[in-house]
Amino acid sequence: DQQVKQNSPSLSVQEGRISILNCDYTNSMFDYFLWYKKYPAEGPTFLISISSIKDKNEDGRFTVFLNKSAKHLSLHIVPSQPGDSAVYFCAASDGWYGAGSYQLTFGKGTKLSVIP
Amino acid sequence: DSGVTQTPKHLITATGQRVTLRCSPRSGDLSVYWYQQSLDQGLQFLIQYYNGEERAKGNILERFSAQQFPDLHSELNLSSLELGDSALYFCASSGGRGRTGELFFGEGSRLTVL
């Protein structure tokens, strides 16, 4: 049972346009959400996060939106650049267990291709 | 460079064999996480250690085991290997100073079971 779903395996966008990556979750206990980016032959790297008490978090060209009632979050990249071409993973956490303990549940990822 | 080191980067072995994957976390990080990424799958959480103690278990098979040593490096042992164990295994570490959500991942160890 997949608790974090990224239904689009791939997405192609023209350089300079907006990229919108979507993520749905089923576990209502999730209260912290993250996006990771992964280039080939590298490990995932943290991109941006959002707590369930917020509905938007912005960091430069990257904005994450959270719709708790729909159990949906999205990552907007504006403007998209060729260097943004990577696999993007959505992840969620259902708690903080103290002393460095929290588990992240990841989606399968969406491969973004930004076309020059 | 995340500061997390994983060895080996690539490993090819046969069914029934046993392998050990090694991870050195970022300097100062007490938590180590192991994840498995199979073909077309997301990152599946296997197990987490904090300062030498097992802290959380995910979808880890009984044939798999892990430990974290006093110097904080960790090893993931995979035994009685099957074809389906072929995957990319990631180690990640975190500092445990609050839930920033930022896990630092190594480059992964790609295991191929023939």
DSSP code of residue A79? S
Do B99 and A93 count as a contact with CB atoms less than 8 A apart? yes
Residues of chain B positioned with their CB less than 8 A from the CB of A97: 55-56
Residues of chain B positioned with their CB less than 8 A from the CB of A107: 42
Whole-number pLDDT of residue A97: 59
Do B42 and A89 count as a contact with CB atoms less than 8 A apart? yes
Task: Give me the tens of pLDDT residue by residue for chain B, a chain 114 residues long.
Answer: 889 999 999 999 999 999 999 999 999 888 899 999 988 778 899 999 988 999 888 889 999 999 999 999 999 999 999 999 999 999 999 875 555 557 889 999 999 999
AA identity, residue B58: G
Residues of chain B positioned with their CB less than 8 A from the CB of A103: 45, 48, 56, 58
Do B56 and A107 count as a contact with CB atoms less than 8 A apart? no
Rounded to whole angstroms, the Cα distance separating B36 from A108 reads 12
At residue B84, the 3 state secondary structure works out as: helix
Do A89 and B43 count as a contact with CB atoms less than 8 A apart? yes
Rounded to whole angstroms, the Cα distance separating B54 from B56 reads 6
At a CB cut-off of 8 Å and minimum separation 6, what does B60 contact? B34, B46, B47, B66
Residues of chain B positioned with their CB less than 8 A from the CB of A39: none
The distance of B96 to chain A (nearest Cα, Å) reads 3
Identify the burial level of B81 via C-beta atoms within 10 angstroms of its C-beta, where 0-12 means exposed, 13-18 middle and 19 or more buried: buried
Of A42, A104, A105, the CB nearest to B103: A104
**pLDDT digits 0-9 by tens, A50-88:** 999 999 999 999 999 999 999 999 999 999 999 999 999
- Residues B59, B46 contacting (CB under 8 angstroms): yes
